[in-house]
Amino acid sequence: MAAHIRPVPLEKAYRLLNHGPTVLVSARHGGAEDVMAAAWACALDYDPPKLTVVLDSATRTRDLAQDAGVFVIQVPTAAQAVLTHAVGTRSLHDHPHKLRDAGVELFEMPEHDLPFVAGCSAWLACRLMPEPSIQNRYDLFVGEVVAAWADDRVFRDGRWMFESADPSLRSLHYVAGGHFYTIGEAIDVASE
């Protein structure tokens, strides 16, 4: 396992997505691998943790995730804005060298036959929960998170540390037309 990557307890995994970052979706099947960007990913449940993600039918990543029944949702960093935009706008169907050209480096995690994108801040290994009705009507997929990890320079003890970590590790929040925001400053509201 790469330096700085630490497991995240499953009951804290929702926190990796709770602040609404743009994510990368990756999947592998039959010797093929693809990675795409998705702004429309969202936590769905705490325990067991689940998430939703919209995967357009034109994407190869969707086919691979459906065929494999598993996929990865990962949180790219500010340093990966160009990579994120590149894998979000080019299709493997038209660009066979899409991943290489975008500078995507994949790595393995023990016990998971999945392609993980290096340089991200968090990774959620997901099992696809078949929901044919909403998949077909809305391109909406449900995943159960079966394992999670984060870079302990920016997420540790169950908390994001954006306010103290290097700004290059901040999450990306896409709007449109190549325009992203990074996550900003902390506001803490006292709980009763």
Chain positions contacting a copy of itself, by CB under 8 A = 15, 18-22, 39-45, 50, 52, 54, 78, 81-82, 85, 89, 131, 133-134, 138, 140, 142, 158-160, 162, 170, 172-192
CB 115 within 8 A of CB 82: no
Q: How far apart are CA 159 and CA 89, in angstroms?
A: 31
Which C-beta is closer to a copy of itself: that of 78 or that of 99? 78
CB 15 within 8 A of CB 105: no
Which C-beta is closer to a copy of itself: that of 32 or that of 44? 44
CB of 159 to a copy of itself, least distance (A): 7
Q: What is the DSSP letter of 171?
A: B
CB-side exposure of 36: number of CA atoms within 13 Å?
26
Enumerate the β-bridge partners of residue 140.
54
Q: What is the DSSP letter of 95?
A: -
CB of 98 to a copy of itself, least distance (A): 13
CB of 2 to a copy of itself, least distance (A): 24
Q: How far apart are CA 61 and CA 22, in angstroms?
A: 16
Which C-beta is closer to a copy of itself: that of 32 or that of 140? 140
Which C-beta is closer to a copy of itself: that of 123 or that of 160? 160
CB 10 within 8 A of CB 143: no
CB of 177 to a copy of itself, least distance (A): 6
Which C-beta is closer to a copy of itself: that of 74 or that of 114? 74
CB of 130 to a copy of itself, least distance (A): 13
